[in-house]
Amino acid sequence: MAVIETNTKSSLHLRSNSLPSTPHPLLSQFEDNLQRLKSSEGASSVSSSSICDKLNGMQDLHDCIDDLLQLPVKQQALAQQCNEKSVDELLEGSLRILDICSTAKDFLSLSKENMHELQSVIRRRGIKTGLTLEGVKYLTLRKNMKKQIRKALVNLKSLKNELIASSSPMLGFLNEAEAVTLCSLEHLFLFLFISDPKGHSKNGRWSAISKLMHSKRAVCDSHESETNEFEKVDAALKSSSTENFQNDMENLEMCIEDLEIGVEQISRKLIRNRVSLLNIFNH
């Protein structure tokens, strides 16, 4: 079966003989949200604002999905078009995305904990001594976390490759939503992972990830304003630079908090949609 192409215009018009000839307004809204997320996949920016925009876009998309799943005609169509295997695959897919969101929340929580430990030492010992005492530890923890993010990216890429197209209109739009959601979460992991251009791993095992990272950085490298908040703090610690360090730390803290809120809201919407699906298939 053909693998879903998430970076091309949807070929599924969400219509069949079991659906009205005139699409429901929610279907048009779904397509609009889907295409906005797809169009952002090729963007080179890895700034926190671009990631937050993706998280907001995912929220809008999954809000629309839940509204669709509340329509009796769509519930009936989905129940009729799904066999036992497709139901299992759909529910399995929703669990996979929830697991990925949980992993993202763990990374963000760990990042915030590491940053707070660094800030605590700086407040007690001063910025120069604090950077000397805690900076190496912070960078070591960041390095270890990046290893885990690499594994998550490899797993995420594998999940994307396993997605298949469906001839069922109702299953089709749910599959496309899963595909674009995986892509958006991939961008979030890349945002957490990225380091200075000279710091990329040359291990062939991660060549695909490195290429993806380089492609996402193409524009950012020429625009300082788009420099990743994590990258700014990492670079300052590596060079022991105190210039603007406190401001960079404050920006990083706000960035992490915004991302935590966004991922938590996405998780709640995914859980709500999963409950709606379970209700449909259990009746």
For residue 222, pLDDT beyond 90: no
Residues 117-170: tens digit of each pLDDT: 999 999 998 988 888 888 999 999 999 999 999 999 998 888 888 776 666 777
Q: For residues 36 and 15, is the Cβ–Cβ distance under 8 A?
A: no
**Cβ density class 8-17: b for 16+ within 10 Å, e for less:** eebebebeee
**Which range of residues forms the domain containing residue 251?**
26-36+45-281
Does 153 fall in a domain? Answer: yes
- Which residue from 54, 87, 44 is spatially nearest to 194, judged by alpha carbons? 44
User: Looking at the domain assignment, is residue 255 inside a domain?
Assistant: yes
Amino acid sitting at position 167:
S
Domain-located, residue 160: yes
Q: Does residue 9 lie within any of the structural domains? A: no
Say if residues 90 and 174 touch (Cβ distance below 8 Å): yes
Burial 255-269 (b: 16+ CB within 10 A, else e): bbebbbebbeebbeb
The total domain count for the chain is 1
What pTM value is reported for the model? 0.79
- Is 5 inside any structural domain? no
Q: pLDDT tens digits, residue range 41-54?
A: 765 556 788 899 99
Element (H, E) at 13: none
For residue 168, being part of any structural domain is answered with: yes
Residue 11 belongs to some domain of the structure: no
Is residue 125 situated within a structural domain?
yes
